[in-house]
Amino acid sequence: AAGGVIGAGILWALDARTCPLHEVARVAHWMAGESAGQCGPCRFGLPSLADDLDVIAGKHAQMSDVHRLNARLPLVQMRGGCKHPDGTARFIGTAMHVFQAEVAHHLRGHCCATTSGTALPIAGMRPSPVGLPGKDFK
């Protein structure tokens, strides 16, 4: 009734030296790679969302990049053969909300990271199952 869903709840404390947007992009790429690649949202949508996050986490992010990501999020939700794209889209949407201040910094060309290292232990990251760049997803 409250709009909640069952899913994996993960909490990881990032230190002040780590850019949360870079970490979210890494997780999004991992989640795209974990797909079975059996439906459009997983084959095209998840890699596209991860690519959008790479751009937003980069040095030359524009507000249009944020708008493109926000427009793509609902295109993968409730359209897949399973709930994997739904959960991934919710994770990304939540991260964009929680890390609004960091998104604003990146839009101004600044990043809070003081290290180029990574924080989250993502073992066995593999490429998307179809190896397609996400930029063609509309």
Candidates 3.40.50.720, 3.40.50.170, 3.40.50.150, 1.20.1440.230; correct CATH number of 20-112? 1.20.1440.230
Would you list the domain boundaries of the chain?
Answer: 20-112
Q: Tell me what pLDDT residue 123 has.
A: 64
In contact, 48 and 137? CB cutoff 8 Å: yes
Q: Tell me what pLDDT residue 129 has.
A: 39
Residues of 66-86 as b/e, b for ≥16 C-beta within 10 angstroms?
bebbeebbebbbeebeeebbb
Which two structure tokens, joined as six digits, stand for 51? 């690519």
- pLDDT, one tens digit per residue, over 64-101 is 999 999 999 999 999 888 989 999 999 999 999 999 99
Which two structure tokens, joined as six digits, stand for 64? 């249009």
Q: What angle do CA 138, 136, 80 make, to 5 degrees?
A: 55
Q: How far apart are CA 24 and CA 1, in angstroms?
A: 29
Give the residues of the chain that fall short of pLDDT 70. 1-11, 114-138
Q: Tell me what pLDDT residue 108 has.
A: 92
